[in-house]
Chains A and B, each alone.
Chain A
Amino acid sequence: MKNLKENVFSLIVKLLTGISLLLLAFIVIFIFKESLVFFKEVSIFKFVSGRTWNPLGSPDKLSILPIILGTIYVSLIGILIALPIGVGSAVVLSSYTNQKVKRVARSVIDILAGIPSVVYGFVGLLVLVKFFEVKFSFASGESVLAGGVLLSIMMLPFIISTCDESMEKVYRDYSQYSSALGVSKSYMIRKIILPQSRKSILASIVLALGRGMGETMAVMMVIGNAPIMPKLLKKCQTIPSLIALEMGMAEVGSLHYHALFASGFVLIIILLIINTILYFIKKNIDI
């Protein structure tokens, strides 16, 4: 009897695990299938290198190069801003604060990470975009820059908490040996902690880039949604925003509809490429 119960239980567990794993396959296959319908009409090469996105025109006008570039550009700006600030703060958090401050600070960072992206977009629209319009007299504050700055704020918690965790460990491992040599804390951080943190800094870049490029709502609300070649101070469009905006109005089964799937597919491929590149860089750092 006991054996039966155990067998049933373990069977259920294995089954559910299998379903979970199949989910991923399902998702990928689905997206791919729906994209394939599009790629039969328009070659993938034309899709990613053409410059015009006009769903109301003829099929040739469905290309997403500017949108791919917009996606990458906005995330890049985000990382460029967030990385130095995030790593610097992580240094302070891990090595210069006491336990009480650490607990408070880490909770605050968790709160920041938990703010929904639509709220960020909301604040970004009212504050950031308006700021650009007022202070710098742009015709419209909606721009790549606005998206980048907003994304950097959203990336900060991930970068800080990833780096902080590993930096604290390194600090605990070596601080007494270093201070016995009469060397200052900042020297130890520069010579031991920072170099040792390269792996986690890289990991946080992967995390942040992944988040940034998949980010929909916040970015969508501040970049202006214009599918043109991106310039820092002009409007642009990203793949997630494109999908979110146009999915509702695309007729099911139309070419436009499948083109949106194709964009999603391209996005996944880009993320895969970035992850792979960074995986290999990580491997090389070890050796």
Chain B
Amino acid sequence: MDIIKIKDLSVSYGDKKVLNNLSMNIEKNKITALIGPSGCGKSTLLSTLNLMIEDNGGSFEGEILFKDKDIRSYKKDDIRRMIGMVFQKPTPFPFSIYKNLTYAPIYYGIKDKNKLNNIVESTLKKAGLYEEVKNDLNMKATKLSGGQQQRLCIARALTVGPEVLLLDEPCSALDAKNTAKIEETLLKFSKDYTIIIVTHNLDQAKRIADYTFEVSQGTVL
């Protein structure tokens, strides 16, 4: 089943058109990789999918269907809950690991201590970080290594229970060992989540992706 269907999408920042009449479908619970030269709109495509493009001053035209409904018919916050994003630079919030992971759930009204603990534990396990930090959950997240921080960001994105996870070159700031760890993590939970990953690295795409699209000159090849 295609969870996201894009038809004739054009995205622009002011006068500058970044994506032109792009069409593609994303299959549910598979890993889709977007590759292509820099600056050709891969990140822009991602930020359109979670509607952050508008926060950044851009606009889009065309049709995007999420679960067969027009993406604009959903509320922005709901979209972000269902479509999560992990950025290139690992940026944990300036508090403890535990607080990083309960930040969003508390906003959504989850107050029960047990539920919160469960969320923390399960997302850390999914991100492959639990064993390394389970005794130090109150440690400041910034004390973690780069690779651990990025896995924390993945766990954080999972705390709201999204169905789709967008990853924008998540390994570009990491070394080979950490990159391997993250790829392993993604492969492990890919059955439960639809993953769209932007990457520079053709080999990475080959290693983990079920589908690969090349985005070049504003459109898909």
List the interface of chain A (C-beta within 8 A of B).
173-174, 176-184, 187, 191-192, 195-196
Contacts and interface: CB of A to CB of B under 8 A. Distances in A.
A263 B160 CA distance: 61
B87 A177 contact: yes
Contact of B94 (A179, A180, A184, A196): A196
Contacts of B94: 174, 192, 196
Contact of A181 (B55, B91, B95, B103): B103
A181 B123 CA distance: 14
B52 A180 contact: yes
Q: Name the residue in B55, B78, B79, B103 with the highest tally of chain A Cβ atoms < 10 Å from its Cβ.
A: B103
Nearest to A177: B91
Contacts, number: 53
B80 A179 contact: yes
Interface residues of B, number: 24
A191 B78 CA distance: 20
Nearest to B99: A191
Contact of B87 (A173, A176, A195): A176
16 contacts: A173-B91, A174-B93, A177-B87, A177-B93, A178-B103, A179-B52, A179-B55, A179-B80, A181-B157, A181-B159, A182-B79, A182-B104, A182-B160, A187-B107, A191-B103, A192-B94
A142 B85 CA distance: 60
B80 A192 contact: no
Nearest to B159: A181
B107 A184 contact: yes
A231 B8 CA distance: 74
Interface string B22-54: 000000000000000000000000000010100
B77 interface: yes
Contacts of B153: 177
A183 B103 contact: yes
A183 B107 contact: yes
Contacts of B55: 176, 179
Given A174-B91, A174-B93, A192-B93, A180 B107 contact: no
A94 B32 CA distance: 38
Given A174-B93, A177-B93, A184 B84 contact: no
Contacts of A180: 50, 52, 80, 84-85, 87, 157
